[in-house]
Every structure is written in structure tokens, then in C-alpha cells.
């Protein structure tokens, strides 16, 4: 096992060197651990051109989108641990976030989030969801991108049960599949005004008085 781990480490290092990627410390050591390891608030991987390719941070980091760096306070999400992935131009293309109340993984379009896989919890209640969003005009700078509607939501929560929602281009639910908190299944088809036009099982017909 030890020999296999050593070979894997050597192979990884060789791959990094061959691709021109360098690991750089992004902050000075915070303190010395009893094991002899040095604690750091963050570190990043850059290529030979100095462009960021990966960042690990113990606090919310700035964003690099379209070749421009945006301050950390413009990033959505809570304070926590961040792992950021960048493309060959240094632009952010996804990441992983972990906080005391949840965790998420996101993959991005050119200038907006595309897919988010997230979980949240509080006490005995919890939820998990996969969300896919509409793609904006890729030519827009990130500060001009409007809120993009959700197109697909697949999720579960302790009070609501499991659900799949398919939305139209304006984010309006059009097909809903669910198994509610009482384990009752239902399929709904809605029109553009949100009115149910088809349902299984069918809604009971109310009798006149």
C-alpha cells in the first residue's frame, strides 16, 4: 500500500511539472502544529504564466471571471472552506464549498453558475438538491448578468419529501413529479399561468351542495 501511494504521488508530481503547473502558498504559515506541519489559511496552484488554476481557502475568496478579479463580498455563499477550479485563462469554472450548515458543488457557464449540487441542514431537518440554470448571454460581464431562471430542480427535504420540477425558459414550473412527506405520489402538468391542466392521480371532483 505504501509503495502504491508513493508511486501515485510521484506520478502526480510528474504530471504537474510536465504541464507547467506550480503549487504556491497564498499566505504565510499561521502557526506550527504539534505534528510539525505548518497551518496555512490558503494555497493555490498557478501555471507558468502565473494564472490561477486551483485555490483552496479557509475563507470566502475573490472571484476571477472574464479576466477580472471581483472582491470576495461579491461572491454568493456563506463563509467556510472553498475549493476553486479555474480554466487555462485563470477564469473560475466551478468549486466546492463547505460550511457549518451545508455544502455545495457548482459548475459554471462563462459568466454564471450552471449546475449546483447542494445540501443544507438545521437540527433534525435537512434538504439536498440538484439545480440546473438557464444560460445567459456569454458576452455579458458578470456584473450585468441578470438572475437566471432555474430549468431543472431535483431534490429532497425532510418535510416535503422528494420532487422533480421542470421549468420553462422564464423559470415557471410546467411539470412537477413529487412524493410528499406522507409518501403520496403525484404528477402535475401546469400551464404558463401556473394552473394545473393535468394531474395523476386526478384531483377529486367536488360535489355541489
In a domain, 136, yes or no: no
Establish if 117 belongs to a structural domain.
no
Rounded distance between C-alpha atoms, residue 16 and residue 29, angstroms: 23
Number of domains in the chain: 1
The answer, as to whether pTM is greater than 0.85, is no
Residue 159 lies in a domain: no
Look at residue 166 and tell me if it is in a domain: no
Q: Using one digit for the tens of pLDDT, what is the confidence trace for 141-154?
A: 888 999 999 999 99
31 in a structural domain? yes
Cα 139 to Cα 130: distance, rounded to the nearest angstrom: 26
**Residue 53 belongs to what domain range?**
1-100
- φ, ψ at 6 (rounded to 5°): -65, -40
Classify residue 75: in a domain, yes or no: yes
The answer to whether position 22 is within a domain reads yes
pLDDT in tens, the chain (209 residues): 434 443 443 344 444 344 444 545 444 455 545 556 677 789 999 999 999 999 999 999 999 998 899 999 988 888 899 999 999 999 999 999 999 989 999 999 999 999 999 999 988 899 999 999 999 999 998 889 999 999 999 999 998 899 999 999 999 999 999 999 899 999 999 999 999 999 999 876 666 54
Q: For 15-29, what is each residue's pLDDT tens digit?
A: 434 444 454 544 445
- On whether residue 28 sits in a domain, the answer given is yes
Amino acid at each position: 500500500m505504501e509503495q502504491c501511494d508513493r508511486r501515485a504521488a510521484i506520478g502526480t508530481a510528474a504530471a504537474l511539472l510536465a504541464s507547467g503547473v506550480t503549487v504556491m502558498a497564498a499566505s504565510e504559515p499561521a502557526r506550527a502544529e504539534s505534528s510539525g506541519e505548518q497551518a496555512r489559511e490558503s494555497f493555490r496552484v498557478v501555471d507558468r504564466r502565473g494564472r490561477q488554476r486551483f485555490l483552496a481557502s479557509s475563507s470566502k475568496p475573490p472571484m476571477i471571471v472574464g479576466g477580472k478579479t471581483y472582491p470576495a463580498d461579491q461572491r454568493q455563499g456563506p463563509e467556510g472552506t472553498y475549493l476553486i477550479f479555474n480554466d487555462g485563462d485563470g477564469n473560475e469554472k466551478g468549486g466546492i464549498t463547505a460550511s457549518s450548515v451545508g455544502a455545495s458543488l457548482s459548475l459554471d457557464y462563462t459568466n454564471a453558475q450552471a449546475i449546483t449540487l447542494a445540501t443544507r441542514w438545521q437540527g433534525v431537518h435537512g434538504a439536498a438538491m440538484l439545480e440546473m440554470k438557464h444560460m445567459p448571454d456569454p458576452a455579458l460581464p458578470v456584473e450585468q448578468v441578470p438572475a437566471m431562471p432555474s430549468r431543472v430542480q431535483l431534490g429532497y427535504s425532510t418535510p416535503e419529501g422528494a420532487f422533480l420540477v421542470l421549468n420553462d425558459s422564464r423559470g415557471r414550473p410546467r411539470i412537477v413529479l413529487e412524493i410528499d412527506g406522507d409518501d403520496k405520489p403525484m404528477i402535475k402538468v401546469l400551464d404558463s399561468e401556473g394552473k394545473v391542466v393535468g394531474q395523476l392521480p386526478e384531483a377529486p371532483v367536488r360535489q355541489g351542495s
